[in-house]
Amino acid sequence: MPTFEIGEQDFLLDGRPHQVLSGALHYFRVHPDLWADRIRSARLMGLNTIETYVAWNVHAPTPDVFDTTGPRDLGRFLDLVAAEGMHAIVRPGPYICAEWDNGGFPAWLFRMPGVGVRRNEPTYMKAVQQYLEHVLPIVAERQVTRGGPVIAVQVENEYGAYGDDKDYLRALVAINRAQGIEVPLLTCDQADDAMLERGGLPELHRTATFGSRTPERLEILRRHQPTGPLMCMEFWCGWFDHWGAHHHTTDPAQSAADLDALLAAGGSVNVYMFHGGTNAGFTSGANDKGVYQPTVTSYDYDAPLAEDGTRTAKYDAFREVLGRYTALPAETAPARRPAPTGVLADGRRTVDLWSVVDGLDGWLDAHDVPTHEQVAAASGFVLYRTSVDLAEPAVLAFTEVRDRAQVFLDGRPVGVIDRSERGTSLTLPAGAGRLDVLVEDQGRVNYGPRIGEAKGLIGPALLGGRELTGWRVLPLDVDAVAASPALAADAPASAGPVPGPSFSVWETDLPQADLFVSTRGWGKGVVWVNGTSLGRYWSKGPQTTLYVPAPAVTGRDDRVVVLELLGGPGDLALVDAPDLGHTEF
């Protein structure tokens, strides 16, 4: 029977010392038809292991559903890892961070009264146990001890940065073992004495996360893991981006030198990220350390393998380093070639948002403004509607707006209240009419104490200092709207600028290849190709393109839909390469 164990100095694979050379690749950030290609590129770089998180909210949109089909097929992903002759490390959380919406927690979890997150609290632990009872059997039957690829499983994630509940960690260990996990259980924390102490247990093998100053960080880890192999579970070779900031990059030569120092010291590694992929749809998270900063759509991460699966200078530099510690295949990953270009202009049909929402079911009546949780809106948009009659201008104010509210009177824009700018109010002009407040959840916080906070309008709503009541509320499923064949079907073909907010539809034959949609000149919104959401765009940048994976394109009668919130030029361009933005302020 194959084995993977922790020895006095090394990881032991079938009893022999083994250096884990792993790369992070999240199946839920990559089109499933491209999983095999990305895994193969990892092997060609010299890696022997693939690491993935499991995002609870990807699989459980509601408490009574656990979906493992199609893009959520973790078992198939692990089988593809095995088919490539590689091992796997699985990190099922339940918390993952990962710049992912809510750190992987499903939004419905926080509707449970009294739930206590990331601690040994009964309501939370019951939900966690149900989740792990779904996901761990998929992992257990694919352990190396049963002829599969999985060599290790991580318990929680960087817990020392959040809490210090040892009973909670032990409860997670018990669940893992009860569900048949036989391989080593690991923890990971930043290379910080306090975090490593809080986040681990004597019975678990500690690993650390860092991306530089390797000897110093290994020394800190050794203080808390006095025996056994040293491993950097997240070797940060790049970073993620926020809307309105710059695109992060790191020097390939310096990152390669840091990797070499780690491997030369006998350490094992998980390159984070080897291939980042995409925060498609409404899956990107956010940070809030005093200022709310939503994460962009691209999770390219300046990783060795770019968002479109092509190798970078960092890939070549890392491959050279890895070749000093393992035998390299003769073949390497493909370089990028120019993508097909063109402009979608003719045949566009556009319809304004108001005519769409007036024909939708699902409106709810509310006395006060409810949160998104209270109307079961897990992500995206909610429309709040009421009537006003003002003899003179008055201030419309909320306790908080999470995260961005566009305000309209009789369909005409009044202004925007943006959480990132600490906005909570604006002035309405005098007059009577319909007041609409379109609120966008721009990504739930994925790190720190604000995990699980409510989204939407945090009341009371005040107009001129008096409470404004009598609302109609619509959880707006824009994915369903975009997928409807009836969307804009009766609208005439149009040209010229697109007003906002509106939906635009093109039906055309796209090139069957990886594509890059340019959003330069457009304001803010979402793009879909054949029902697949490419994710958000925003003129704040830094990124000005959206990646279209080739499997999302049919090449015949392709359907492109754009939800534009502010207004755009009307023509949609395909460009030959990604543009993830400026790298300096």
If asked whether residues 448 and 486 sit together in one domain, one would say: no
Instruction: Reply yes or no on whether the pLDDT at 545 is more than 70.
Output: yes
Peptide bond between residue 501 and the one before it cis (omega within 30 degrees of 0): yes
If asked whether residues 295 and 378 sit together in one domain, one would say: no
Q: What pLDDT shows up at residue 73?
A: 98
Catalytic residue set: 158, 234
Rg of the chain on CA atoms, in Å: 25
Assign 42 to helix, strand or coil.
helix
DSSP secondary structure string for all residues of 116-130? -TTSS-HHHHHHHHH
Instruction: Reply yes or no on whether the pLDDT at 221 is more than 80.
Output: yes
For the chain, percent of residues with pLDDT exceeding 70:
100
pLDDT in tens, 485-542: 999 999 999 999 999 999 999 999 999 999 999 999 999 999 999 999 999 999 999 9
Instruction: Reply yes or no on whether the pLDDT at 345 is more than 90.
Output: no
If asked whether residues 46 and 178 sit together in one domain, one would say: yes
For the chain, percent of residues with pLDDT exceeding 90:
99
Q: How far apart are the first and last CA of the chain?
A: 55
If asked whether residues 236 and 97 sit together in one domain, one would say: yes
Question: Could you count the other beta carbons within 10 Å of the beta carbon of residue 355?
Answer: 13
If asked whether residues 440 and 501 sit together in one domain, one would say: no
Provide the number of structural domains found in the chain. Answer: 3
Which residue range is the domain that position 447 belongs to? 368-469
pLDDT in tens, 39-79: 999 999 999 999 999 999 999 999 999 999 999 999 999 99
Q: Which two tokens stand for residue 383?
A: 């429309």
pTM value is 0.97
If asked whether residues 457 and 403 sit together in one domain, one would say: yes
Q: What pLDDT shows up at residue 346?
A: 86
Burial class (CB in 10 A: 0-12, 13-18, 19+), 464: middle
* Residue 331 belongs to some domain of the structure: no
For 333, residues 6+ apart whose C-beta sits below 8 A from its C-beta are 41, 44, 45, 305, 309, 310, 311, 315
C-alpha dihedral sign at 309, 315, 318, 319: positive
Q: Which two tokens stand for residue 443?
A: 């990504």
Q: What pLDDT shows up at residue 584?
A: 78
* Residue 305 belongs to some domain of the structure: yes
